[in-house]
């Protein structure tokens, strides 16, 4: 009778995180073999198994013993913490078997049972730091030359992997983590978030959030895993989070402006995709006419070297090809660009030259690190619709060659500027008397021009609304329109919330459907609201929407769902029915 080898990863250490298959296999085994500390961790699951525990450095003898016992017909559980296939016993067991010429068909049965590895358990305790492409690197140079480990750290750092460092430090191996930090700092900002987790899901669990610069000031030992964030990882409310995509912009409120679902997969929003890059490199082929330009391998090789951060001298560069003018001269200089994410506004790490980069012919030559794009709405004022030529020139100047100025139907221009330091821009715009507003799902106050200031009675109320509510984040963009007379020629009644000043008081319209083929105005819910009541009333309406609406729920849908806001009942909007006059009767 042939025995069986179970190679079991029992997860981080708590019984709650052991898989059922691992438990069953332990139950089924007659012999349990493992490192003493690990056997102690699962002791509570053992019944009458024979336990063979050994010291940490005796892995090879453990593996040999396990194979020997199985060949004698025993069912043997070889246990590893985490996953047995991640710096665990699985490989070693197979090595011993291979040495003996074992074959699955006629040798002892082997079952490797997966477990939760430290990268996963530690990530869960930190928030969601892995999320994107990640790797594990063991800093133990007992069996691996340090030079190779250093090269892997460097490659991973360069390629913007999230990195989980296993075996970061022991009593004798103390320099490796210091060296590792030095290498990482060459490619990543000192402010890169770093999570240090000791004994995840065990009794002495400790979770520390720090930065690449300060990580060595914290305890790091044999039971610790260190997770290094990538260039877009950020910390929010003591959680380390790596956003999944590379598409992030930021605006005045320092909120991320994720792409709307329908925009997500558009080509222009993915300038980094392989297809887009190929297209950018082959403009003629893209146009579908003329002969294809022969692919310039020398230029491409140079570009890849530069992406990889390998220095190329100016002389080599010009000799290779003049076609790579978009690439950074003299090879890469990773550190300064990496610092970008550190100077993003608090609570925010923005990324990537999205649609902007796609217009830039040098996009394909951009370094891997992401660029921050500052996004904000600008107007000459709430009531004032007139730009001065000086303001227009300033707008063009701050946008620069790579910025974008979008003209919108909301009495605002939207600026998108690649920069990590928006204060230089915002200060100049504000000094020129411009009104700056965040972009995205925020409350947007829109007013008319009050007949060029002639009918100015309601202007203070529009400004008060702007001050109290303008720019607040909302479940969905919320447009509040205020018009200064009964003509309402700026279409206030077409906005989510419409306010019309008439005969010294305000009329209120709610529930407009602002977009779509069945767009319609709001329903008048109140007339003659005394001016002093307007702002508090609006504050209450907006507060309720912000608190109770579902994410992405437009105001009119919210109003319909809740049926009542501030005592105003929801009513279906119906088009005015026109009756033909009956003539001659």
Residues at the site binding ligand SAH, with contacts judged by CB under 6 A: 12-13, 80-83, 86-88, 117-118, 121-122, 166-167, 197-202, 222-225
Least CB distance to ligand SAH at residue 165 (A): 7
Q: Are 408 and 437 in contact (CB under 8 A)?
A: no
Least CB distance to ligand SAH at residue 233 (A): 19
φ and ψ of 23, to 5 deg: -60, -50
What is the secondary structure of 478-521 as a DSSP string?
EEEEEESSTT-TT-GGGSSEEEEEETTEEEEEE--B-SSTT-BP
Please identify, using beta-carbon distances, which residue of 83 and 317 lies nearer to ligand SAH: 83
Q: Rounded distance, CA 415 to CA 377, Å?
A: 6
- In SS3 terms, 341-372 reads as HHHCCCCCCCCCCCHHHHHCHHHHHCCCCCCC
CA angle (521 as vertex; 518, 524 as ends), nearest 5: 140
Please identify, using beta-carbon distances, which residue of 128 and 529 lies nearer to ligand SAH: 128
Please identify, using beta-carbon distances, which residue of 74 and 169 lies nearer to ligand SAH: 169
Please identify, using beta-carbon distances, which residue of 113 and 197 lies nearer to ligand SAH: 197
Please identify, using beta-carbon distances, which residue of 198 and 476 lies nearer to ligand SAH: 198
Least CB distance to ligand SAH at residue 136 (A): 8
Q: Which residue is nearest to ligand SAH (CB)?
A: 82
Please identify, using beta-carbon distances, which residue of 223 and 469 lies nearer to ligand SAH: 223
Please identify, using beta-carbon distances, which residue of 85 and 511 lies nearer to ligand SAH: 85
Closest CA relative to residue 359, chosen from 262, 251, 285, 269: 269
Least CB distance to ligand SAH at residue 245 (A): 28
φ and ψ of 523, to 5 deg: -95, 135
Least CB distance to ligand SAH at residue 293 (A): 49
CA angle (75 as vertex; 72, 79 as ends), nearest 5: 120
The bridge status of strand 193-198 relative to strand 206-211 is antiparallel
Q: Rounded distance, CA 7 to CA 25, Å?
A: 9
Q: Are 572 and 579 in contact (CB under 8 A)?
A: no
Closest CA relative to residue 332, chosen from 351, 357, 301, 305: 305
Q: Give the Å distances, CA to CA, from 110 to 43, 90, 93.
A: 23, 10, 9
Please identify, using beta-carbon distances, which residue of 21 and 546 lies nearer to ligand SAH: 21
């Amino acid at each position: 009778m042939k025995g069986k080898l179970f190679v079991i990863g029992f997860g981080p250490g708590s019984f709650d995180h052991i898989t059922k298959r691992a438990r069953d296999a332990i139950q089924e085994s007659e012999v349990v073999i493992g490192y003493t500390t690990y056997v102690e961790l699962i002791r509570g699951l053992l019944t009458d198994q024979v336990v063979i525990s050994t010291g940490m450095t005796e892995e090879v003898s453990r593996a040999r013993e396990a194979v020997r016992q199985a060949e004698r017909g025993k069912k043997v559980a070889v246990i590893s913490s985490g996953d047995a296939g991640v710096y665990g016993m699985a490989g070693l067991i197979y090595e011993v078997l291979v040495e003996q010429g074992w074959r699955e068909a006629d040798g002892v049965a082997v079952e490797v049972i997966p477990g939760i590895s430290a990268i996963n358990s530690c990530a869960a305790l930190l928030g969601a730091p892995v999320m994107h492409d990640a790797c594990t690197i063991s800093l133990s140079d007992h069996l691996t030359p340090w030079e190779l480990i250093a090269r892997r750290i460097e490659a991973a750092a360069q390629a913007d992997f999230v990195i989980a460092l296993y075996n970061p430090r022991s009593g004798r191996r103390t320099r490796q983590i210091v060296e590792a930090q030095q290498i990482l700092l060459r490619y990543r900002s000192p402010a890169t978030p770093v999570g240090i987790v000791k004994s995840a899901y065990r009794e002495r669990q400790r979770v520390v959030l720090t930065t690449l610069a300060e990580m060595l000031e914290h305890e790091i030992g044999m039971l610790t895993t260190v997770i290094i964030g990538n260039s877009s990882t950020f910390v929010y409310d003591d959680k380390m989070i790596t956003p999944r995509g590379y598409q992030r912009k930021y605006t005045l409120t320092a909120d991320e402006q994720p792409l709307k679902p329908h925009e997500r997969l558009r080509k222009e929003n993915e300038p980094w995709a392989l297809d887009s890059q190929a297209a950018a490199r082959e403009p003629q082929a893209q146009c579908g006419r003329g002969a294809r330009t022969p692919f310039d391998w020398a230029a491409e090789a140079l570009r890849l070297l530069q992406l990889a951060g390998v220095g190329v001298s100016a002389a080599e560069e010009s000799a290779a090809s003049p076609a790579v003018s978009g690439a950074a001269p003299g090879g890469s200089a990773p550190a300064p660009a990496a610092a970008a994410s550190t100077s993003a506004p608090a609570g925010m790490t923005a990324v990537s030259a999205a649609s902007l980069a796609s217009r830039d012919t040098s996009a394909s030559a951009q370094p891997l690190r992401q660029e921050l794009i500052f996004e904000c709405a600008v107007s000459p004022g709430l009531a004032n619709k007139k730009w001065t030529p000086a303001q227009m020139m300033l707008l063009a100047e701050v946008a620069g060659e790579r910025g974008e100025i979008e003209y919108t139907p909301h009495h605002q221009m939207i600026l998108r500027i690649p920069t990590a330091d928006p204060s230089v821009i915002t200060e100049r715009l504000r000094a020129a008397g411009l009104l700056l507003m965040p972009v995205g799902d925020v409350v947007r106050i829109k007013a008319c021009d009050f007949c060029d200031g002639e009918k100015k009675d309601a202007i203070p109320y529009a400004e008060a609304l702007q001050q109290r509510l303008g720019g607040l984040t909302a479940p969905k963009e919320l447009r509040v329109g205020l018009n200064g007379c009964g003509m309402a020629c700026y279409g206030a009644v077409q906005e989510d919330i419409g306010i019309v000043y008439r005969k010294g008081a305000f009329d209120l319209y709610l529930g407009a459907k602002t977009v779509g083929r069945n767009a319609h105005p709001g329903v008048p819910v109140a007339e003659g609201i005394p001016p002093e009541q307007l702002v508090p009333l609006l504050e209450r309406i907006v507060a309720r929407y912000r608190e109770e609406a579902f994410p992405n729920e437009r105001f009119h849908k919210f109003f319909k769902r809740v049926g009542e806001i501030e005592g105003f009942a929801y009513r279906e909007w119906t088009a005015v029915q026109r009756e033909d006059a009956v003539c001659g009767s």
